[in-house]
Chains A and B, each alone.
Chain A
Amino acid sequence: MEKLKSFLNKSLLFLALIIGVLFFLLPIYASTVFALQDVEGNYSLDPISRAFANEEITRSLLLTLRISVLTVVLTLLVLIPTVAWLHIVVPQARKFVEFLSLLPLVIPPIVQGVGFLYSMPSFLKSTPYALVFAYMILAMPFTYRALDAAFSAIDTKTLYEASLTLGAKWRTLVFRILIPNVRTGIFAATFLILALVLGEFAYASLLLWDTFPTVLAVAGMGDASAAVALSVLSLLGVWLALNVINLLNKSNRSIVNVGVR
């Protein structure tokens, strides 16, 4: 009786799992076939090479990648020292800063974009790289949490005091002690920014910059096969990158589950 119940339970869960996996895979499969099949039903990689031969697309992809890298660098440069400071010097301010970091969640990106458009000086509106600042804010609810969790897990203050009593220099402390210990947090923040920037549309389209998502949206109107192929490729690309980061991370803690709560 017990065994039957647990067997039924397992089967139901298994069914749910299969339906769930199909749910994810079906549109990917359909899109792949749609993109690579021509009118006669033959498969070819033409749409992909067409997409990459399109200079506008490659240029936008490069721009988006550069923006992501800059966003990662800037985020880490600002957040790592701040979070470390919060843990070592003013832990009583952590709650307040966490609250601030969550604010961007309350303001939809499109609204943030409009505000940016109407409040920033024109030199910040004349370069796509100003998006870096916007994206840093957009990603902050997640990046801050990821880093804060990482610093919480290592008892930063004790590590700091231990390294001081051992006579370590600041540089040693930061690069040999803190950064390696919060690696998971850094990986998580990096991934979140990559995933977010490669898909961000609201800001870029309002400010009329040709990033990958905006160019893709326009391309869809012209060459459907190429646009669909690019869509699948971009999701798969981010997924692969993410799995690589996950492997590099080697820690038991997942880099994806920063959770929003």
Chain B
Amino acid sequence: MKRYVDYFGLVPLLAFIVAFLGFPLLAILRFSFQDSEGNYTLNNFQTITSGIYRDAFWLSFQLSLFSAAISLVLGFIFALAVTRLQIPILKGLISTASGVFANTGGVPLAFMFIASLGTYGLLTDWLRKLGIDLYANSWTLYSFSGLLIVYLYFQVPLMVLVSLPIIEGIKREWREAALTLGAPYGLFWRKVIAPIIAPQLFATFLLLFTNSFAAYATAAALTSGSLALVPVQIASLISSNVQVDGANTAMALGVGMISIVGIAMTIYIVLERRVVKWRN
């Protein structure tokens, strides 16, 4: 009897999660298998795996892959510099700044980049004076590579935030023990550091990937929908209401996104169980 009572304290939170996460999720699942009349169908999934929607997934996938890979490298090096140089206050200021960029980014970032690298942006102007015309070869900030640059501004900070504890988790004693044991730096990296941080970096890569995959605000504010990423497509299907079964297609796109993120997470969990035997 007492056992049930023990779980009563969890009721408010669980109720909350069911109401505001469970119900919406169920609605999406249900509508994605229906047409606008409410008949069950698989048509929506046929729609999203072909034509512009398949292209949207491919575009989102590429953007996420590149932004995750680049920010993984840049963010880690930056975090390494911040922790190793041990300049007082700097770490605090940079981690707070990263927190802001990574969480608040979105719309403000888009405008800051229009001001910097847009057609009349200040950096564009400087580069033009240096003889580099960014816009000469039909490049624009509102293209794939432009968006990629802007994405780095919330991806790299997120990487910094996640890297700091990873780097601080590398104990000084390990390096010193390896040193006194006569190990060259290469051996220490190969046998100790790499096996320890590789799974963490892989997990971080997946996190960066999903973060970029799910991002909507920046793309919406920057390209006004001209770059057809999946979230952009979902939003326009919901708000425009011109297409037959538009909302249902949007739901199916949503299910598609959840599946991709879910697959990434599953890969991570399975791999971690296999690789990381040494952690409890």
- Which A residues are within 8 Å of any B CB, using their own CB? 10, 13-14, 16-17, 19-21, 23-24, 26-28, 30-31, 33-35, 78-79, 81-82, 85-86, 89-90, 93, 97, 100, 103-112, 114-120, 133-134, 136-137, 140, 191-192, 195-196, 198-202, 205-206, 213, 216-217, 220, 224, 227-228, 230-232, 234-235, 238-239, 242-243, 246, 254, 256-257, 259-261
Given contacts A136-B16, A205-B220, A213-B107, 5 further A-B contacts (CB under 8 A): A105-B210, A119-B27, A228-B111, A230-B111, A257-B165
Whether B116 contacts A30 by the Cβ 8 Å rule is: yes
Whether A24 contacts B10 by the Cβ 8 Å rule is: no
Cβ–Cβ < 8 Å partners of A33 in chain B: 122
Whether B24 contacts A231 by the Cβ 8 Å rule is: no
The 5 closest A-B pairs by CB, nearest first: A115-B24, A85-B9, A108-B214, A201-B217, A231-B108
Of residues A31, A100, A206, A230, which shows the largest number of chain B Cβ atoms within 10 Å of its Cβ?
A31
Q: How far is the CB of B239 from chain A (nearest CB, A)?
A: 7
The majority secondary structure among interface residues of chain A is helix
Whether A108 contacts B216 by the Cβ 8 Å rule is: yes
A231 to B108, CA, bound (A): 4
Given known A257-B165, A259-B161, contact A82–B116 (CB-CB < 8 A): no
A15 to B111, CA, bound (A): 28
* Partner of A261 from B10, B17, B203, B220 at Cβ < 8 Å: B203
Cβ–Cβ < 8 Å partners of A78 in chain B: 12-13, 16
Whether A13 contacts B84 by the Cβ 8 Å rule is: yes
* Partner of B112 from A97, A105, A228, A243 at Cβ < 8 Å: A228
Given known A246-B92, A257-B165, contact A239–B213 (CB-CB < 8 A): no
Q: Does B221 contact A (CB under 8 A)?
A: yes
Q: How far is the CB of B226 from chain A (nearest CB, A)?
A: 14
Q: How far is the CB of B23 from chain A (nearest CB, A)?
A: 5
B residues contacting the other copy or chain, number (CB 8 A): 86
By beta carbon, the residue of chain A nearest B247 is: A118
Whether B99 contacts A220 by the Cβ 8 Å rule is: no
The majority secondary structure among interface residues of chain B is helix
Q: How far is the CB of A257 from chain B (nearest CB, A)?
A: 6
Q: Does B115 contact A (CB under 8 A)?
A: yes
By beta carbon, the residue of chain B nearest A20 is: B78
Q: How far is the CB of B170 from chain A (nearest CB, A)?
A: 15
A194 to B220, CA, bound (A): 22
- Bitwise, B210-235 to A at CB < 8 A (1) or not (0) is 10011011001100000000010011
The segment from B40-48, B132-140, B187-195, B250-258 that touches chain A is: B250-258
Cβ–Cβ < 8 Å partners of B109 in chain A: 27, 231
Whether A242 contacts B96 by the Cβ 8 Å rule is: yes
* Partner of B235 from A100, A110, A220, A254 at Cβ < 8 Å: A110
A260 to B156, CA, bound (A): 14
Q: Does B97 contact A (CB under 8 A)?
A: yes
A242 to B113, CA, bound (A): 23
A260 to B78, CA, bound (A): 18
Cβ–Cβ < 8 Å partners of A206 in chain B: 235, 238-239
Q: How far is the CB of A225 from chain B (nearest CB, A)?
A: 9
A104 to B22, CA, bound (A): 10
Given known A115-B254, A201-B106, A213-B107, contact A134–B20 (CB-CB < 8 A): yes
A28 to B85, CA, bound (A): 24
